[in-house]
Amino acid sequence: MSHSIENRYLGELRTHSTHLKSSDTIITDAPVDNNGKGNAFSPTDLVASALCSCMTTVMGICAEKNNFELPGSTAYVTKIMESHPRRISKIIIEINFDNNNLSDQQTEKLVAVAKGCPVAQSLSSDLIQEVKFNF
């Protein structure tokens, strides 16, 4: 099995990850409310962002497979943390789609695949996923 990511701890609660196939990199910092500087995405920010990115990616795949165009979109993600134990308790996502002429059947299909994306299915069932789709 080959590795896909290399992660290095840089000190001062900062990490550097490299996607080995593309050489793209991500820096994380601990958030201010957890002893960090908050100068970059925190690891839990990446989890929340990954959920949204996965949803829009699988919607794009669905649109391609069904021969229609997924409209452009802008999404806003809110991550809510709990203290005991420290964990993500809720992720709120609002996805706003640009002007489009999607049918009701297409929007229903897109919502279904988004809610069933791999990241959504991988997160704990205790984590609340609240998603609003504005077509």
d(CA 70, CA 22): 26
Q: What is the mean pLDDT of residues 47-53?
A: 98
Q: Do residues 19 and 49 share a domain? A: no
The CATH number given to whatever domain includes residue 60 is 3.30.300.20
If asked whether residues 18 and 49 sit together in one domain, one would say no
Cis upstream peptide for 85 (omega within 30°): yes
C-beta of residue 120 within 8 angstroms of C-beta of residue 58 = no
* Confidence at residue 108, expressed as pLDDT on a 0 to 100 scale: 98
- Mean pLDDT value of segment 96-103: 94
Q: With bands split at pLDDT 50, 70 and 90, how would you rate the model's confidence at 34?
A: very high
pLDDT at site 2: 93
Domain that holds residue 86: 43-134
Decide if pLDDT at 38 tops 90: yes
pLDDT value of position 53: 98
pLDDT for the residue numbered 105? 97
Question: Taking 90 as the threshold, does the pLDDT of residue 100 lie above it?
Answer: no
Q: Identify the burial level of 110 via C-beta atoms within 10 angstroms of its C-beta, where 0-12 means exposed, 13-18 middle and 19 or more buried.
A: buried
How many domains in the chain?
2
Question: Is it the case that residue 124 has pLDDT exceeding 90?
Answer: yes
Q: Answer yes or no: do 49 and 29 share one domain.
A: no
- Is the model's pLDDT at 1 over the cut of 90? no
First-to-last CA distance in the chain? 41
> Residue 79 above 90 pLDDT?
yes
Model pLDDT, residue 35: 95
Beta pairing partners, 82: 87
Same domain, 96 and 130: yes
